[in-house]
Amino acid sequence: MSIRWKLLWSYAAMLIVPLLFILLVSALLLIVFKGDAQNIRSFYESKIEGIEEGDYHRLVKQTLVQNPSLLTDTAYLQKLSAELSSRQISLFVRENDRTVYASKGIEGNSALLSSLPPFVRPDFHKELKAKIYDNEWYQVVQYDFKSEGDTPISFFLVTRIDPLVHFAKTFFPILLIAAVLALLITHIALTYYMSTRIIRPLLALRRAASQFSEGELDVPIAVAGKDEIGQLGVTFERMRIRLKESILLQLQYEKNRKELITNISHDLKTPITAIKGYVDGITEGIADTPEKHDRYMRTIAAKASELDKLIDELFLYSKLDMQKEPFRLQPMSVHDLLVDWADDLGFELEKNGVELATNFRVPSSVIVHVDPDSFRRVLGNVIQNSLKYMNKEKPRIRLYARTSGDEAEIVIEDNGSGIPADALPHVFDRFYRAEWSRNSRTGGSGLGLAIAKQIMLGHGGDIRAESVEGEGTRVILTIPTNGGVASGDE
C-alpha cells in the first residue's frame, strides 16, 4: 500500500472514530437523562420540556376536552398542579381576562402571566418559544377551547427549564452538524496539506532518484524546508552535486591519464631516439675516429642519464600523487634550514654567474615540521626552473623569508623572462611547459614544479607563483609553523 493511501486511510479513521465517539456519548447522555434507550426517540418529539407528547394528549384530549368543566374546578386544578410540580410544571387557567387558577410557582410572576398570549380560537394549541422572566427560563404551551357556557378559556402549561438543558436540546443538532463539518474540513485540509508537504516532495525525490539511476545529474532537486522531508531533499541535492562532481572528476582523471600516457611517451621517446641514433652511428661505422666514438659514447651516456632522471621523477610524482611517498617529518628551525641551504646554493649560483641576495626575517624559534630532503628538493626545483629561463645580462635571484600568522612564507624571486599570463595558472601542472616547443633542454621534464606542489601539499603547506612577463617571476612557499610570530617586512 502506498504512503498516499496509508495517509488517506489514517485520516479517514481520524474522521470516523471521533464521529462514532460523539454519537456514542450523545446516546449515553440521553439514556442517562431519559432513563432508557426506548425514550431517546421521544426526546425530540416532546412538545413540553418534561412532558412527553403522549401525556400531553391524554391530558388535553381525553380529559379536558371531554370535561371542560374541570377547567373551572379549583380542586381538580390543584390536584393536577401538585402532580406536575415534581416536573417543574405550573398551570395557569384564564377565562376571558379573569384568572381562574395559577399554580403557586407562578402566581406572583406578573411579568410572565401578563405576557401570555390571548385566546385565539377553540382547539388551538401552540408551543411558544422559551423566554426569560425574572431571570428564569420558561417554556409555555397554550391550549384554547370553549366552556359549556360558550366562554373562551385558555389553558397554559408553564415549565421552568434549565438553561443548559434547553441550550443543549435546542442546539445539539446544530453542534453535531458543525462538529461533523469541522471534522470534514479538517480532514480535507490535512489531506491536502500532507499531500503538498509530504506526498509531492516524495514523488519529486522518487523522480530524482530515477533520474540519478539513468545518469541525469544536471537537474537540481527543488525540495526544501526545515522538516525531515526538506532535510532529505537537501541531502539528495548534496548527493546529486557530489555524484556529478565525482563523475566529472572521474572524467578528468581519465583525461589526465590519457594526457599522462601521451606526455610520458613523448618525453621517453626523445632521449631513446637520440640513443638509438648514436648507437646506429657507432655500429654503422659513422664514428670512424676515436674522437667521434668517444663523443658518441658520452652523448649516449648523457641521454641515458637524462632518461634515468626522467623515470625517477615520473616514479616520484606517481608516488606523491597517490600519497604513497612517506615524509619523515622533523622539527626544524626555518631560519637555520634556509641559511644552510642558501650557503650551498650561493656557491652553485656563483659558478653560473648568478647573483644571490638573501633576507631571512624569521626568528630561530620559529619551528616547522618538514622532511629535510623533500623540502630541499622543492627549493631546488624552484631554483632550477628559475635558471632555465634566465635571459638577463646580470641574472639575479632573491631569497627571503618572513612569518605571517601561523605560517612561514618563503619567497624565491628572479629577474628572468617571466611567465605569460595565460600560462601562469598551469605552471604547477604535470608536464606543462610554457614553451610550446617542449624542448627538454630549456623546458625540462615538466614535472619539477608539479613535484614541488605535491610535496608542499603533503607538508600541509602550499606553493604559488606570481610573474610579470619580461621582468621576472616570484614563487611563494607557505608552510605551517609551531605558533604565530609577528610578521616582518620584506
Average pLDDT over residues 422-447: 62
CA-angle at 192, arms to 191 and 197, nearest 5°: 100
What CATH number does the domain located at 229-320 have?
1.10.287.130
Q: Is residue 33 over pLDDT 70? A: no
The model's pLDDT over 275-288, given as tens digits with 9 standing for 90+, comes to 888 888 888 888 77
| Residue % of the chain over a pLDDT of 90 | 3
The model's pLDDT over 225-273, given as tens digits with 9 standing for 90+, comes to 677 777 777 887 888 888 888 888 888 778 767 776 776 776 677 788 8
Q: What is the pLDDT of residue 476?
A: 92
CA distance 188 to 11: 9
Q: Is residue 12 over pLDDT 60? A: yes
pTM here? 0.45
Q: What is the pLDDT of residue 59?
A: 67
CA distance 127 to 340: 119
Q: How far is CA 379 from CA 81, 345, 431, 477, in A?
A: 122, 10, 19, 9
The model's pLDDT over 180-195, given as tens digits with 9 standing for 90+, comes to 788 778 777 777 777 6
The model's pLDDT over 193-216, given as tens digits with 9 standing for 90+, comes to 776 777 777 778 888 888 877 777
Which grid coordinates belong to 60? Answer: 388535553
Q: Is residue 490 over pLDDT 70? A: no
The model's pLDDT over 250-260, given as tens digits with 9 standing for 90+, comes to 887 787 677 76
Query: What 3-state class would DSSP assign to 397?
Result: strand
Element (H, E) at 71: none
Q: How confident is the model at residue 398 (pLDDT cuts 50, 70, 90)?
A: very high
| Residue bearing cell 605558533 | 483
Q: How confident is the model at residue 478 (pLDDT cuts 50, 70, 90)?
A: very high
Q: Is 260 or 139 the better-scoring residue by pLDDT?
A: 139
Q: Is residue 437 over pLDDT 60? A: no
CB count within 10 Å of CB 400 equals 19
Question: Domain locations in the chain?
Answer: 3-43+169-197, 53-161, 229-320, 327-480
Average pLDDT over residues 106-122: 85
Q: How confident is the model at residue 324 (pLDDT cuts 50, 70, 90)?
A: low
Sign of the CA dihedral with 405 first, then 409, 415, and 417 last: negative
Report domain 327-480's class: alpha beta
CATH architecture of 53-161: 2-Layer Sandwich (3.30)
What residues pair up with 333 in beta bridges, in sequence order?
367
Q: Is residue 2 over pLDDT 70? A: no
